[in-house]
């Protein structure tokens, strides 16, 4: 048994000085508590993902200097942490082990993910060696994130080479099935390796990504011995059981194995340590991810307050509730921007919600602004019939007002659109899409409802009428979303199949959907690519989010849908699909 401190910290991308301090604090705390080993996440020193900061020599150099400082201050516990190692002009996603003032070993990540949100082969070369520590108590090894995801990859190879505890440092982003998937994967790898796995994950929001923490210790028999909190910084000492053997086994890897002899402090006395944090429900998980994603975007970018347009609809209601929960009601400003099409019910609902949340609310009517636009455009529009242009003008007047408030007071504008709208282009570019952060961008409309019910089950803040009335953009008389889109209960499963699972028309029809509606939805999704390209970032909570996770050309004549010629797509078309 080895007593390992799992330091589930929240580093900030680019903040090498701050991250150094965060790492040193975790190491001191581990030493103070008598831990034998302390583990800090992948690339904790630079934050993850550092992206093209990795192309800057000054950045890489600062990271090396900081590693030196961390090593100098290292104490009795063997400290394992993530940094960028530059050797002979190549970069490696690396783990350093430090003890008593020295770097005692460095491991280079073997498997570099280059799919989904990951671009690691843009920067890093793969490592080829394994690093085993012969300590008085056990044989330990070190690996990084993706190294665990291959059935016969480095984590398993290290176990087969004699490691009894495999340390695996991570920056693994959340999506809604991730914890179960990860737990099952680690249980399998631990059994194959015949070793315990100490899986330490980053926690925190970074632009489009939310790292959920949920660090784990899994025994050689695949049992979860410890789990840290989701969506919070956490720190725990865990007594990690040893794997079966410390002898190299015949099935071991061909890659070269470096063995380093290091001491460890004596095991602390007392009862066996371990903690298994409660696993959240799906709704609580997504809610937690959205709160953390928003709070970290706001705080890491030094905003003090956010501003949200409150229409009385469910998207803006949920957005305001999450913002108030994540930041405190005093950090949220609600703005009602009624037009001639705004129903009295919607205005009331917005007021009731703001009051229930304790959020400040102001009103900026757009009626006269809309009139001024229409007057100015009179000669340009001539006798052409009214339509989308008049609708979008209103949405953009609202976007402009929110941005003006942002300019004047420095508040961050939170856009309120959901994934169903973003998918179908049922949103106005520079209008309701305007903002610095799009909180619900990866949340389908049906999930907006389930998250609202979940939140109301804790304490009822969203008025019942908001949950029950038919969704409407209120940009013309008697408008309903279902005038333009299939019902969300039909739409969302089609979107999920097409976007998240890359299903073709035939696959989706086979799920029981009509060919016409499938073709229509796919055409809407394909045609809205130019809008999504200009959307604000927002937190990924599904298997495939819009943004770096899904990279499609705008100019694209591939037609998955019905084989009709696409009409010209007016840039900025939206509000109505």
Binding of a second copy at residue 567 (CB under 8 A)? yes
Q: In this complex, which beta carbon is closest to a second copy, that of residue 470 or of residue 568?
A: 568
181 is catalytic: no
By the 10 Å C-beta count (0-12 exposed, 13-18 middle, 19+ buried), 310 is classed as buried
Q: Identify which range of 136-144, 170-178, 396-404, 456-464 contacts a second copy by CB under 8 A.
A: 396-404
C-alpha span between 402 and 411 (Å, rounded) = 9
Please identify, among the stretches 101-109, 132-140, 476-484, 562-570, the one whose residues bind a second copy according to the rule CB under 8 A. 562-570
Options 150-158, 189-197, 237-245, 369-377: segment touching a second copy (CB under 8 A): 369-377
Task: Pick from 247, 250, 470, 568 the residue near a second copy by CB under 8 A.
Answer: 568
Residue 457, interface with a second copy (CB under 8 A)?
Answer: no
Which two three-digit tokens encode residue 329? 């009601």
Strands (E), 56-113: 78-87, 90-99, 102-108
The correct pick among 89, 115, 269, 478 for binding a second copy (CB under 8 A) is: 115
Q: Does 421 bind a second copy (CB under 8 A)?
A: no
Instruction: Return the residue of 269, 302, 457, 468 that touches a second copy, per CB under 8 A.
Output: 302
Active site residue 145: yes
Based on the shown chain and the rule CB under 8 A, indicate whether residue 398 belongs to the binding site for a second copy. no
User: Is there binding between residue 572 and a second copy (CB under 8 A)?
Assistant: yes
Compute φ and ψ for 25, nearest 5 degrees: -60, -45
User: Taking CB under 8 A as the rule, does residue 449 contact a second copy?
Assistant: no
Strands of 109-213 (E only): list them.
130-134, 139-144, 165-170, 196-201, 203-206, 209-212
Residue where the block lists tokens 């242009």: 389
Whether 304 is a known active-site residue: answer: no
Tell me if 274 contacts a second copy by CB under 8 A.
no
- Smallest distance, a second copy to C-beta of residue 493, A: 18
- Tell me which residues in 43-72 interact with a second copy (CB under 8 A): 49-53, 55-59
Candidate segments 85-93, 230-238, 311-319, 552-560, binder of a second copy by CB under 8 A: 552-560
Among 101, 387, 460, 562, binds a second copy (CB under 8 A): 387
The torsion defined by the Cα of 533, 536, 539 and 545, in degrees rounded to 10, comes to -10
- State the minimum distance, in angstroms, from the CB of residue 92 to a second copy: 16
Residues 6 or more apart whose Cβ sits within 8 Å of residue 354:
310, 320, 334, 360, 361
Q: Which residues of 363-395 are buried (b: 16+ CB within 10 A; e: fewer)?
A: ebebeebbeebeeeeeeeeeeeeeebbbbbbbb
Of the candidate residues 202, 406, 446, 452, the single one contacting a second copy (CB under 8 A) = 406
Q: 296 exposed, middle or buried (CB, 10 Å; 0-12, 13-18, 19+)?
A: buried
DSSP assignment of 405-447 equals HHHHH-PEEEE---HHHHHHT-S-TTTTT-SSEETTTTS-HHH
Is 380 a binding residue for a second copy by CB under 8 A? The answer is yes
- Using the rule CB under 8 A, is 18 a contact of a second copy? yes
> What positions carry a catalytic annotation?
42, 109, 145
């Amino acid at each position: 048994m080895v007593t390992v401190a799992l330091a589930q910290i929240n580093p900030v991308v680019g903040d090498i000085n701050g991250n150094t301090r965060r790492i040193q604090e975790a190491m001191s705390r581990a030493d103070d508590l008598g831990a034998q080993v302390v583990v800090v996440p992948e690339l904790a020193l630079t934050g993850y993902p550092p992206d093209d900061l990795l192309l800057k020599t000054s950045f890489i150099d600062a990271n090396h200097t900081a590693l030196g400082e961390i090593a100098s201050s290292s104490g009795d516990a063997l400290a394992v942490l993530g940094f960028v190692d530059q050797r002979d002009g190549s970069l490696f996603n690396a783990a350093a082990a430090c003890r008593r003032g020295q770097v005692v070993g460095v491991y280079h990540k073997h498997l570099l993910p280059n799919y989904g949100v990951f671009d690691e082969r843009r920067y890093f070369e793969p490592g080829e060696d394994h690093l085993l520590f012969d300590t008085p108590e056990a044989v330990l090894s070190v690996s990084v994130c993706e190294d665990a995801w291959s059935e016969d990859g480095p984590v398993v190879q290290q176990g087969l080479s004699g490691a009894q505890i495999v340390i695996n440092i991570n920056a693994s982003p959340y999506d809604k099935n991730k914890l179960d998937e990860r737990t099952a994967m680690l249980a399998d790898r631990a059994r194959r390796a015949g070793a315990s796995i100490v899986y330490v994950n980053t926690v925190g929001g970074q632009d489009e990504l939310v790292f959920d923490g949920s660090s784990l210790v899994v025994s050689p028999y695949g049992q979860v011995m410890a789990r840290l909190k989701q969506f919070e910084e956490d720190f725990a000492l865990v007594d990690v059981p040893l794997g079966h053997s410390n002898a190299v086994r015949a099935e071991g890897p061909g890659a070269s194995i470096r063995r380093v002899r290091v001491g460890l402090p004596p095991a602390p006395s007392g009862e066996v340590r371990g903690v298994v944090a409660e696993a959240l429900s799906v709704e609580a998980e997504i809610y937690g991810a959205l709160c953390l994603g928003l709070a970290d975007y706001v705080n890491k970018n030094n905003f003090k307050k956010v501003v949200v347009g409150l229409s009385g609809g469910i998207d803006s209601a949920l957005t305001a509730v999450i913002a108030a929960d994540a930041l405190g009601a005093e950090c949220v400003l609600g703005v009602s921007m009624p037009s001639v099409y705004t129903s009295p019910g919607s205005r009331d609902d917005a007021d009731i919600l703001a009051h229930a949340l304790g959020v400040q609310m102001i009103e900026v009517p757009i009626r006269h602004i809309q009139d001024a636009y229409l007057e100015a455009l009179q000669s340009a529009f001539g006798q052409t019939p009214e339509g989308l242009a008049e609708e979008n003008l209103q949405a953009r007047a609202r976007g402009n007002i929110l941005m003006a408030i942002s300019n004047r007071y420095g508040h961050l504008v939170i856009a309120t659109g959901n994934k169903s709208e973003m998918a179908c282009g049922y949103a106005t570019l520079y209008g309701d899409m305007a903002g610095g952060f799009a909180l619900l961008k990866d949340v389908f409309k049906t999930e907006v409802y389930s998250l609202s019910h979940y939140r109301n089950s804790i304490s009822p803040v969203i008025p019942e009428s908001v949950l029950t009335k038919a969704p409407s953009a209120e940009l013309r008389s008697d408008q309903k979303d279902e005038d333009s889109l299939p019902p969300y209960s039909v739409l969302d499963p089609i979107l999920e199949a097409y976007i998240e699972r890359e299903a073709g028309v035939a696959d989706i029809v086979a799920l029981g959907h009509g060919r016409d509606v499938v073709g229509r939805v796919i055409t809407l999704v394909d045609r809205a690519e130019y809008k999504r390209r200009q959307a604000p970032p927002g937190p990924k909570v599904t298997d495939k989010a819009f943004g770096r996770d899904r990279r499609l050309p705008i100019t694209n004549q591939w037609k998955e849908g019905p084989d009709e010629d696409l009409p010209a797509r007016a840039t900025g078309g939206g509000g109505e699909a």
